[in-house]
Amino acid sequence: MKNQQILTGDPFADWAELYELTHQNKQDDLPLFLDYAEKQGSPVLEIGCGTGRVTLALAKAGYQVRGFDLSENMLSIAHQKVAEQPEEVRERIHLDKQDMSEMVVEGTYTLALMPYGEFAHVIETERQIQTLQRVYDNLTDDGLLIIGMSNWDAREQRVSYEGGEIARWGHSMPVKYEGTFHDPRNGNTITRYLARGYDPAKQIAVHVYIHERHDNSGNFLSKTTNILPIRYIFRYEMELLLERAGFTVENIYGYYDKSPFKHDSRRMIFLARKK
């Protein structure tokens, strides 16, 4: 199946800092990754490492981690965070910029991670297959791949996504309050809203992130809007992609607490073993 390439470049080019501020305290997924890192051992390959949240947790626990991402701004934040760590932690981390579908890494890895929906940023089927094949080739025999992603809801508001443009999103996609976050550097608050829609013809979810900044007195400072197209991937589609790349699916969790995957699970977390 061929897909037109819909998304190119860095989708986080102008909001990596906002992403870090609103995601830096997420920790509920870390026990799962640390558990399997203990079972598999070093080294670990993190695909789509972003600002280094999972990377640092693994390195602090004693594991060698090779992480890469397509976003220069996300990696810049990750490098800054790594630089603040003790030398023994810094020495366990290697970061660089790569496209996951074209990645070239030295050596092989016992564990590969796509922790938080990174694979959904690969829009085209050909690149999805190529990505999984690259991961397979860089795993040791009996190596493990863990992919975390949303359990997509096809009942979302329907929108049109044609040629990279979103039709009528402001009128047809309801906006939901996502939370308020504190910026410790200046005392500002950041309020995040999310508008979501789904184009079933292209199997793409459209997420529109709206961030409003206020100072510590409540005065409005700025508003940014960022559009993030994401590929919907369903359970059996993902299993077929993994099997085509040579993996055996060992388990599918519904959340990072290893709960079973069900119709109302928030996440789909695939554990795939290299045959």
Q: What is the total count of domains within the chain?
A: 2
Question: What local confidence, expressed as pLDDT, does residue 2 receive?
Answer: 39
Range 30-34 average pLDDT: 98
| Residue 38 shares a structural domain with residue 122 | yes
Q: Tell me: the pLDDT tens digits for 125-142?
A: 999 999 999 999 999 999
Q: What mean pLDDT is reported for the chain?
A: 90
- Please report the pLDDT score of residue 199 as a whole number: 87
Are 24 and 125 contained in the same domain?
Answer: yes
Same domain, 50 and 139: yes
Q: What is the pLDDT of residue 8?
A: 47
The CATH number linked to 247 is 3.40.50.150
Residue 270 sits in the same domain as residue 217: no
pLDDT for 167 beyond 70: no
C-alpha gyration radius of the chain: 19
Domain span at 30 = 16-152+233-274
**CB of 66 closer than 8 Å to CB of 86:** no
Is 10 part of any domain? no
| pLDDT at residue 202, as a whole number | 87
**Confidence band of 1 (pLDDT split at 50, 70, 90):** very low
Q: Are residues 172 and 73 in the same domain?
A: no
Residue 209 lies in a domain: yes
Give me the pLDDT at residue 14, please.
Answer: 79
Task: Please indicate, yes or no, whether residues 225 and 244 belong to a single structural domain of this protein.
Answer: no
Mean of pLDDT values over 172-186: 86
Residue 12 has pLDDT above 70, yes or no: yes
Residues 42 and 178 in one domain: no
Is residue 30 within 8 Å of residue 54, measured between CB atoms? yes
Instruction: Indicate if 206 and 184 belong to the same structural domain.
Output: yes
**Same domain flag for 62 and 165:** no
Look at residue 1 and tell me if it is in a domain: no
* Residue 45 falls in which region: left (phi positive, over 0), alpha (psi -120 to 50) or beta: beta
Do both 127 and 206 map to the same domain?
no
Q: What is the pLDDT of residue 157?
A: 82
The pTM (predicted TM-score) of the whole model is 0.90
Interacting residues of 153 by C-beta distance below 8 A, sequence separation 6+ = none
| Residue 63 and residue 141 in one domain | yes
Q: Which tens digit of pLDDT belongs to each residue from 199-255?
A: 888 888 888 889 999 999 999 999 988 888 889 999 999 999 999 999 999 999 999
